[in-house]
Structure 1
Amino acid sequence: MTDKVLIKGNEAVAKAAIEAGCRFYAGYPITPQNEIPEYMSFAMPESGGVFIQAESEIAAINMVYGAAAAGVRAMTSSSSPGISLKQEGLSFLAGAELPAVIINVQRGGPGLGNISGSQADYFQAVKGGGHGDYKLLVYAPYNVQEMWDLTMLAFDKADLYRNPVMILTDGILGQMMEPLIPTRYVMPQLPEKSWALTGCKGRMPNVIRTLYMNDDELENVNKILSEKYKTIKEKEVRFEAVNVEDADIVVVAFGIAARIAHSAMTALRKEGKKVGLFRPITLFPFPYDDILSLTDTGRKFVVVELNSGQMVEDVRLSVNGRSDVFFYGRSGGAIMKPNEVYDFVSKIY
Structure 2
Amino acid sequence: MKNFQIIRTLSSKSAVTTIAKESSAMFIAGGTNLVDLMKKNVVAPDKLIDISGLDLKQIEFLTGKVSIGALTKNSQVAEDKVIQEKYPLLALALAAGASQQIRHMASVGGNMLQRTRCSYFYNTDMPCNKRNPKSGCGAIGGSNRMHAIFGASDSCIAVHPSDMCVALAALDATVFVEGPKGKREIKFTDFHRLPGNMPEKDNTLENKEIITSVEIPNNNFSKHSHYLKVRDRTSYAFALISVAVGLDIQNNTIKDARLAMGGVAHKPWRLTEAEEFLKGKTVSETTFRQAADLAMHGARSYGDNDFKLTLGPNAITEALTIAASK
Q: TM-score, normalization: structure 1?
A: 0.28
Bigger Rg over Cα: 1
Structure (1/2) with the larger helix percentage:
1
